[in-house]
Amino acid sequence: MKAWEKNFRKVEPYTPGEQPVFADMVKLNTNENPYPPSPKVAQAFALLGNQAGKCRLYPDFKAEVLVGALSDYYGLEKNQVFVGVGSDDVLSVAFLTFFNSDKPILFPDITYSFYDVWAQVYAIPYERPALDENFRIRREDYYRENGGIVIANPNAPTSIAEGLEFIEDIVRHNTESVVVVDEAYVDFGAQSALPLLEKYENLLVVQTFSKSRSMAGMRIGYAMGHPGLIQAMNDVKYSINSYTMNYPSLVLGTAAVEDEAYFKECCEKIIKTREWAREVLGRMGFSCLESSANFLFAAHGSVPAKKIFTALRERGIFVRYFDKPRIENYLRITVGTREQMERLFYALSEILR
């Protein structure tokens, strides 16, 4: 090792889902929305060509047009909304802003695997209370001193959501630390913690445009909370990179928020397809956890998940496999269109026979 290498920050990086590019593939591995963004987004996108000259200018560092649209949509004040480059960026800023003590932050042992990466990068001590045998959070594990709490609800990769009373109980037991509720999948059937913002100044709710609004490629995420939390996050953000949101993202994100009817229609289609797919998988010998997300977490009764994953991949069908303790026999299957799911089931019928 060279002398200057000793000062490198060593961390095991987050492993994103594979992004294959094959003709006629079925991509069900990264929880993207199978439907296009709102037609209003397409219209706004077409108009961007006429405004290309604006790309020579820095975007509004306050992102006021998008912040305003989100605050109007959720009935909040503008100073209660923070926006960033995808919810990953928002969560990263939250970690850096709020988790600055010697006490460990807490999040489940099976959850979004970026949490421990951020904790390592920012030298934040952390502990991971184990989910119970049914992959559910034990609320009493969070009734102790800590430097902060992060709960994904619905959880990933398990797809399980806890109710509002459950989330409030954890927030109520932790009024001396910030509780972050990551709601990336909340629009597919779970209860949002947003109603709790009126009661708890230490609660931060994080959502994204990547899933329910079909805009993963635009990288738009946002957080909602007490003005004091949002101001603290902005202070950190402006100290790192004031201009995080590019001009097209601001314009297209605003257009997406303004089309509530299309948003709800897409969510309803995914929920309907998810419930049908769960029934079909059950008849094929899979057990699926109850899902409130746009994916299913499934294990077959006799065929190992890795074998199924490999066989599907050979057929151009991509799902997510986690080679990790306790979940090594599960596959995470994104809910696609009905046609995509039918191709998946045909392939599974060949693999399992």
How confident is the model over 70-103, as pLDDT tens digits? 999 999 999 999 999 999 999 999 999 999 999 9
Could you tell me if residue 75 is left (phi over 0), alpha (psi between -120 and 50 degrees) or otherwise beta?
left
- pLDDT tens figures, 41-55: 999 999 998 888 888
**Residues 340-344, mean pLDDT to the nearest whole number:** 98
DSSP 5: G
Q: What is the pLDDT of residue 266?
A: 98
Answer yes or no: is pLDDT of 1 > 80.
no
- pLDDT tens figures, 287-334: 999 999 999 999 999 999 999 999 999 999 999 999 999 999 999 999
Read off the pLDDT band of 16 (50, 70, 90).
confident
* Residue found under tokens 């990466």: 117
**Residues 16-31, mean pLDDT to the nearest whole number:** 92
Q: Letter for the amino acid at 56?
A: R
Q: What is the pLDDT of residue 134?
A: 97
Read off the pLDDT band of 254 (50, 70, 90).
very high
Instruction: Give how far Cα 146 sits from Cα of 115, 150, 166, 178, 324, Å.
Output: 15, 11, 18, 10, 26
- pLDDT tens figures, 322-337: 999 999 999 999 999 9
Q: Which residue has the higher pLDDT, 14 or 176?
A: 176
Read off the pLDDT band of 141 (50, 70, 90).
very high
Answer yes or no: is pLDDT of 166 > 80.
yes
Q: What is the pLDDT of residue 2?
A: 85
Q: What is the pLDDT of residue 130?
A: 98
Helices 114-121 and 86-98 cross at an angle (nearest 10°) of: 40
Q: Which of 317, 332, 311 is nearest to 25 (CA)?
A: 317
Q: Give the percent of the chain with pLDDT over 70.
A: 100
Q: Which two tokens stand for residue 63?
A: 């992102």
- pLDDT tens figures, 209-227: 999 999 999 999 999 999 9
Average pLDDT, the chain: 96
